[in-house]
Structure 1
């Protein structure tokens, strides 16, 4: 039976999608708690901000490429001496906009599964052996309200891929739980966290923006800090009996 452990050294984390928004804020929140953080992203310039936020090392890579992920995780484990936490923040709409079903190309569809599902799976697959050997792990996937219901974006692949990430979270929890590894997901509501969400927000216009806010119990949009706080909850040593859960962080909209 796995019992809660008390760390004798700082916890070690990988945060993907760390160059901006929720990912960068998560880096900052973990680092502020003394966690050693590796920041992964394809945006080399943005990773400089992750370093400023507290990342101990950075890796520039395309997370949809399994070989690149395996190599980056191996190098991180070698430098940190292990890995305890994985936060999969990478993903998004990759510049896509909602369009009718018959206008969606194969590449559009596959691109968002690469971004939102495949990258998270490759990262979890790469860290799992190290977490199993230490009998401790925290994996947190950043899903979306679009993983629980139709998406405000209107992008079919985004909705489907975030639903897939929710399913992956539950399956990995079932598989990895016996080894002291919890797997949970945070499902944010509308958060102005990057240029893509800013463009989406602007596209609603004043009336659409007001309707969205009126549908949120707290009558405000979320912030990256709101989401990072939920991540910290799941990654805490004290959250060792919470797994397979999807936490909506949306001001009550759900």
Structure 2
């Protein structure tokens, strides 16, 4: 396997889209730093068939202040080289019956936990990585938001939507501050994407989803966008939000 000489750090790497991103970028020649709170994160390189030199792993609960600080220290000190950062990890919560929580049902602990993972961790990791990117005159930041951070969602609670909207604001602030250093910062806002972790979705729900494409998205449709945004060809693309949702949300 050849390498492009660059390293990308992916949070939430052991689930959902994280594994697909890792596999896609490894095939493209990236070296990987795979971060997840899962105790099995250390097994992921072998599961993906990656050589030992191509991937490092870190078990880190981004909601744990001490663990997050330790990870940021490795990045800021250069122990973990980070030419590109994908803030992919994210959480939401549902009520006991699996339904969307109303704002009246969201307590401070729930809100703080969602913000810690979905917004504070991306902020701190981005802050740790940026000085080295500026020194090298090249860097890529990708933040995985959601359609729920762009408009009202019948699925996600206000805590999730607020965190993902904040992530978009963070990305654009970084874009404005960092473009002159050859650094881009962009957002991908997916709609419903089917992964092995998603389980089977009732086909009857599709008619209720109001997706013009009349289907759910596939992981390759997200990883393809990730690969583009990490490329040199995307050097003039910054501060953008890519809405990948089959037409379910079309901002003006």
Give the equivalent residue in structure 2 for 1:155: 157
Asked if structure 2 preserves the Cα contact closer than 8 Å seen for 1:18 and 1:47, the reply is no
Over the aligned positions, Cα root-mean-square deviation in angstroms equals 2.3
Give the equivalent residue in structure 1 for 2:206: 209
Offset, 1:210: 2.7
Give the equivalent residue in structure 2 for 1:19: 14
Offset, 1:207: 3.6
Give the equivalent residue in structure 2 for 1:226: 221
CA distance in 2, matches of 1:44, 1:179: 37
Asked if structure 1 preserves the Cα contact closer than 8 Å seen for 2:92 and 2:156, the reply is no
Q: 1:206 to 1:241 in 2, by over 3 A?
A: closer
Q: 2:189 aligns with which of 175, 187, 190?
A: 187
CA distance in 2, matches of 1:66, 1:175: 26
Offset, 1:231: 0.7
* TM-score in terms of structure 2 length: 0.86
Asked if structure 2 preserves the Cα contact closer than 8 Å seen for 1:186 and 1:249, the reply is yes
Asked if structure 2 preserves the Cα contact closer than 8 Å seen for 1:20 and 1:46, the reply is no
Q: Which runs of 5+ in 2 are unaligned?
A: none
Alignment of structure 1 residues 68-79 onto 2, 5 Å: 68-75=67-74, 78=78
Alignment of structure 1 residues 37-52 onto 2, 5 Å: 37-52=32-47
Offset, 1:66: 5.1
CA distance in 2, matches of 1:19, 1:94: 19
1:77-98 per-position Cα deviation (integer Å, ceiling 9, x unaligned): 7556x32110010002156652
1:107 counterpart = 2:112: no
Give the equivalent residue in structure 2 for 1:90: 89
Q: Secondary structure of 1:92's partner?
A: coil
* TM-score in terms of structure 1 length: 0.85
Q: Which runs of 5+ in 1 are unaligned?
A: 1-7
Aligned pair count?
Answer: 239
**Bigger share in helix:** 1
